[in-house]
Chains A and B, each alone.
Chain A
Amino acid sequence: MFTLLKLELEKLFRARSFYLSFIVLVGFVVLMLWGFYTYAARKTGGEAVEQFKYTYESKQYFNGLTFALYSLLFSFTLLLPIFVSMSAGSQIAGETRSGTLRMICTRPISRASLVLSKFIVTALHAGLLLTFFIGLNLIVGLIFVGWGNLELYPGPLNLVDAPGKIMRDDALMRFGYAALSGTWALLVIAALALLCSVVFESPVQATVMTIAAYLTLYIVGRVEFFEHLRPYFFTTDMEFWRDVFKPDIPWANLWHYACVCGAYTAGLLLATVLIFERKDIVT
């Protein structure tokens, strides 16, 4: 198992797509910084003071922590799932496409171990991506926007029902929690993509199907017509990770949804193993 993991890690670190995902995230942070900086400057100074008269007027509101929070919440919805889907979707289907899967399966390793090792590597990739992204946002926020407390208002970001505040040191801790809870939530996507990677022969097909399923449920969940279906979508359960940014973390709620996501992940992985074990590998 450890040898398998080592081999898979080597493959991950040699893949160009691994580094590409980090480069794109850096690009997104730059874009966010530009948008955030100009918006804050426009809305908190000069002629537009009235726009932020009571709550957002303070330049302290637009600090590095707020920047990191906005950037993280915006990117988590779409950007990070794409990279996780790409990484997981290419794990088995990529081997199939390059013709190496048959050879790997002739080695004295179980197919279940192969799936598990590939999933662990994908999970590591997801964790690294998120940790890197959070760290980068905080560093960029500190350097270019400045420190302060994390002020939260109802409405934008949909985190709180009443105005609240998280003190700086506590807020930094919350970003640490978010790296864990966010990675855990992303594992559902990773498990789904791995399942697609077993079912489909092409990594592109596996990735596209995963993203399509994710986006479909995400968008349908946002349409009021389907509000009664919303609780049954894994995309709804995945949103638990944001709870760590609430002034009082609803721990029971967080653990509940973390377990639901865990059940999705374990269930999908189990299905992946069962399908893969019965799969006739002809390439």
Chain B
Amino acid sequence: MWVKLILLVLFCLMVAGAVHFAKPRESEERTSSSNSSDVLRLLTWNIGYAELEDDTRAHDKDLPAIAEVIRRENPDAVALQELTGKAQLNALLKLLNGAYRGAVAQQGRGDRFEAVLVKDTGATFTTVPVGDRYALAGSFRSSSEIVLVSAHADAFNASRRRTYTEALMDWAQARAQSATVFIAGDFNFELKAANETNLYTDNLKHDSESYSHIMRSFRDLGRAAGDTAINDRRIDYIFGPTQPRNIGRVTVLRDAAVGRMDHWPLMVEVSF
């Protein structure tokens, strides 16, 4: 009898312990906006579609919804990925009523373009060659220059992602000597701890290598915000300087996707 009693008590104790130590659901966003007067709001969004569609690039019919999100969130700069080209960007800028200036990157190997939108009339844009692709950098705030790079690494090959990241970082590290550089975009790193088996693969190693390389010089500002794409994937990032800066609101706008988009916008506030 005593054995059964001990086991029953032990069972109850364990259940009570499990309940006691159960962590409260982690808020996936930091909702406290920074009070600092000098706040930089950055947004990145891959506005392309999931693989189910014939054309997985951004669709023109979604542009009003995209413009609405940008107007509502009012970021200082926006990094967009998977646009069809300059005409689509111009249509988007028109929908934003001239509040932003923007440019698309030079066409690389693929059929889609990265773009940067900046709410600064003096903004300038530079194409960043990264292997056989092109990222785009927007520079603004001439008093204390800030550079936002819109990047999009290969979706299907971890080795190519690493090569891309290395080239991008070479450029960013050089540029960071004279400006505050932020890198935003869809890197497709499959690094979520809960996602994969724990077996060692070269793909994991490549993504680990790429991410760790960026983390040597930059900080992952959007880490607290959680998944940014369907299937519980966190593949969109905003990397910023490592020096102490207050990170304000960090959020993934999960109500923003329209049509068959497979990404949500990631928004980060940084105060100086």
Contact = CB atoms under 8 A, between A and B. Distances in A.
Tell whether A and B belong to one assembly.
Answer: yes
Interface of A: 52-56, 70, 73-74, 77, 110, 112-113, 115-116, 153-163, 222, 224, 227, 242, 252-253, 255-260, 262-263, 265-267, 269-270, 273-274
Contact of B191 (A56, A112, A116, A161): A161
Contacts of A113: 3
Interface of B: 1, 3-4, 7-8, 10-11, 13-18, 20-23, 166, 190-191, 193-201, 204-205, 207-209, 211-213, 215-216, 220, 223, 231-232
A53 B159 CA distance: 13
A154 B18 contact: no
A66 B19 CA distance: 34
B14 A263 contact: yes
A8 to B, nearest CB: 15
A260 B213 CA distance: 37
Contacts, number: 117
B162 to A, nearest CB: 9
Contact of B11 (A115, A242, A256, A263): A263
Given A56-B205, A112-B4, A270-B7, A154 B212 contact: yes
A244 B248 CA distance: 31
B212 A54 contact: yes
15 contacts: A54-B216, A55-B213, A56-B209, A77-B198, A153-B209, A154-B211, A155-B190, A160-B193, A162-B223, A252-B21, A255-B21, A259-B21, A267-B11, A270-B7, A273-B7
B26 to A, nearest CB: 11
Contact of B198 (A157, A255, A262, A267): A157
B200 to A, nearest CB: 5
A70 B204 CA distance: 14
A53 B166 contact: yes
Contacts of B21: 252-253, 255-256, 259
A266 B198 contact: no
B223 A70 contact: no
- Which of B4, B204, B216 is the most central at the interface, judged by chain A CB atoms within 10 Å of its CB? B4
A273 B191 contact: no
Contact of A54 (B14, B17, B204, B209): B209
B3 A155 contact: no
A116 to B, nearest CB: 5
Contact of B199 (A74, A112, A256): A74
